[in-house]
Structures are given as structure tokens and as C-alpha cells.
Amino acid sequence: MASWVLSECGLRPLPRIRIYPKPRNALASNSTNNNVFKIRTLPGSKANSNSFGGSSFKVSTLSRDRNWGVLNVSAPLKVAITSEDDKDKETINGVEDDGEFDPAAPPPFKLADIRAAIPKHCWVKDPWRSMSYVVRDVVVVFGLAAVAAYFNNWVVWPLYWIAQGTMFWALFVLGHDCGHGSFSSNPALNSVVGHLLHSSILVPYHGWRISHRTHHQNHGHVENDESWHPVESSVF
């Protein structure tokens, strides 16, 4: 079947090239052996040039059944050499990844990719659900205080401090969402709830909201970020 396809397309199979265990002098022009490599220079090239770039190789081979004649092979001008290390590297968004973390390299994704990966229902602002979290956390805060006051024991108070500190952090997170506007779509409701929650844990809501917005606008900036101040090298 393969022979019929080749004959119909006018193609001939490649000749069989014999490989000798030891190198022979294949560059001799007066060699009588047909199974050697001969170099044929292109027109306009120098005869004594040792460079093989752009030249063609004239290979005469001999098969057991049939002599297929002469095979002309064009040598490439440049040969791409790839090492084993280059094969292991992967390219992500135009950045080569060799398995090592580079903090200065851009991430292999964009902000739009993150937003597209978040389900659509997560972007819906439900004020009733948000207020349910406020009621739940406030009930837990008063419940912990009542339990600690009821037992009034030196073993209970350290546990109360840890638990109540965690719940105070939960109240701060709710006020944090009010400052970002993710608590609800009503700015007035966000301001009232955020002010009450942060005031209960002695955090100035509006001052923090303004400075926190500046922090996000200059996130990671060495000079303009108000919440992150890197230590200078002279301190170390």
C-alpha cells in the first residue's frame, strides 16, 4: 500500500545510507567508492572554503536491490541546538518558567483572569445576608461575655480573651467590607453599620476608610503605601 501511494504521488523512498563503525576519508574527490559523501560547492562559492553553511551534500548510495541514484541534501544555514535544561522550561504568558520562583517576574495571569474565574453570584451584594452576619457576630460576642461573667474563673478568662478577640476581629472584617462598599449597594447603610461596628472595637471608621483606600491605591509602593513601611537596609 505504501509503495502504491509513493508511485501515485511520483515520490521515491529515501535510499538506505550505510553507517560505518569507523570514519572514512569521504572528502576525497577521486574516491572510487560510491557509498561515500561528496561535497558539491554551489556556483559562486569558493572552492577552498571549509564552511558547510549553504552548501549541498551529494550522497551516492548503493542498495542491495536497486540503486536509487544520487540524493541531494541541502545543509541549513543555522542549526538550532536545544539543551536538556531548555526542554524543561515552560513559557507562561511569554515568561519562561524554569521551576524557580522569581519575585520580580510578572504573574502568569492577569486581573481579568481572576475576575472571570469568580462565579457571578459572588458579585451580588445582598444587604439582608450581610446584616445576618452582623446579628450573628453580635449575638456571639454578647454570649461569650455572658458565659465568662457567669463562671468568673481564672481558667475561663484566658479562653474568653482568645475567643472574644477572634470575634472582635470578625466585627472589624464586617466594617472593612462596609469601607470597601461590598457590604451593600447603599453607601449610607455601609457608613452607618461600619461606623457602629468599628466604634465598638475602638477603631475610627471614616479615618481608617480613607487611609485604607489610599493603601489599596498604592499597594506595595515603598513610599506612598500608608499601611506597609519596609525596613531600610541600614537597620539590618
- pTM score of the predicted model: 0.53
Which amino acid, 217? Answer: Q
Q: What is the predicted pLDDT for the residue at 105?
A: 83
Round to whole Å and give the CA distance between 19 and 190: 82
**Domain regions of the chain by residue span:** 1-44+51-76, 119-235
pLDDT, averaged per 10 consecutive residues of the chain (236 residues), comes to 55 50 48 48 49 45 48 49 54 56 82 92 93 97 97 95 97 96 95 96 93 85 77 73
Burial class (CB in 10 A: 0-12, 13-18, 19+), 37: middle
The SS3 of residue 178 is: helix
Q: What is the pLDDT of residues 197-210, one digit of tens each?
A: 999 999 999 999 99
DSSP H or E segment with residue 85: helix 84-88
Round to whole Å and give the CA distance between 27 and 80: 26
Q: What is the pLDDT of residues 134-185, one digit of tens each?
A: 999 999 999 999 999 999 999 999 999 999 999 999 999 999 999 999 999 9
Round to whole Å and give the CA distance between 1 and 9: 13
* DSSP per-residue codes, 130-147: HHHHHHHHHHHHHHHHHH
**Residue 15 in contact with residue 41, Cβ under 8 Å?**
no
